[in-house]
Amino acid sequence: MRFSIIAAASALFAAPSVVNAFTPSFTTRTHIRSPTSTTSLYNYIDFNEGAERNLGAFDEWANEYGIQRAEGFQLASEDGLDWSAVTSTDLPAGSPILAIPAEMCLTSQGSKMELEEMSGGGVQDAVAQLGRIGAAASINQFYLFLKVLVEFERGAESPYYPWLDSMPRLFYNSVSMTDFCYECLPPLVFNLSRIERVKFDNFFQVLQKVDIVSDDLKQERELCKWAFNVVHTRCFGDEVIVPMADMFNHGTETEVEITFDEEGNCNAFASCDVPAGSPLRMSYGCPTNPSHFFATYGFLDETSPATFCKMMNIQSTPELVDLGFDFSRMLFYKDSGEISEEVWDVVLYSKVLANKPDVRQHFYEAHMSENAELKAAIHQEFMLETASEIQSHVDTFLKQLDELSAKGEGKDINEHPRLPLILRHNEFVKQTFLNVKANLDPMVAEIADGVAV
* Lowest-pLDDT range of 374-378, 441-445, 449-453: 449-453
pLDDT by residue (tens digit) across 39-62? 455 457 899 988 999 999 999 999
Residue 385 CB neighbour total at 10 angstroms: 14
pTM for the model: 0.83
Q: How much is the pLDDT for 85?
A: 94
Q: How much is the pLDDT for 33?
A: 35
* Lowest-pLDDT range of 194-198, 249-253, 428-432: 249-253
Residue 70 has pLDDT above 70, yes or no: yes
CATH classification number, 9-282, choose in 3.20.190.10, 3.90.870.30, 2.40.50.70, 3.90.1410.10:
3.90.1410.10
Q: How much is the pLDDT for 34?
A: 35
Cβ-based neighbours of 406, under 8 Å, separated by 6 or more? none
State the average pLDDT over residues 69-90.
91
Q: How confident is the model at residue 452 (pLDDT cuts 50, 70, 90)?
A: low
Angstrom CA distances, 436 to 67, 306, 338, 425, stand at: 47, 11, 6, 17
More confident residue, 276 or 295: 276
State the average pLDDT over residues 371-400.
96
Residue 9 has pLDDT above 50, yes or no: no
CB–CB of 67/242 below 8 Å?
Answer: no
Q: How much is the pLDDT for 26?
A: 39
Q: How much is the pLDDT for 41?
A: 52
State the average pLDDT over residues 6-13.
35
Q: How much is the pLDDT for 118?
A: 95
Q: Where are the domains of the chain?
A: 9-282, 305-452
Indicate the pairing of strand 281-282 with strand 249-250: parallel
Q: How much is the pLDDT for 451?
A: 64
- Of the chain, the end-to-end C-alpha distance in Å amounts to 64
Residue 28 has pLDDT above 50, yes or no: no
Return the bridge partners of 73, or none. 87
* Lowest-pLDDT range of 134-143, 171-180, 403-412: 403-412
Indicate the pairing of strand 306-308 with strand 331-333: antiparallel
% of the chain surpassing 90 pLDDT = 68
pLDDT by residue (tens digit) across 325-368? 998 899 999 999 999 999 999 999 999 999 999 999 999 999 99
Average per-residue pLDDT for the chain? 87
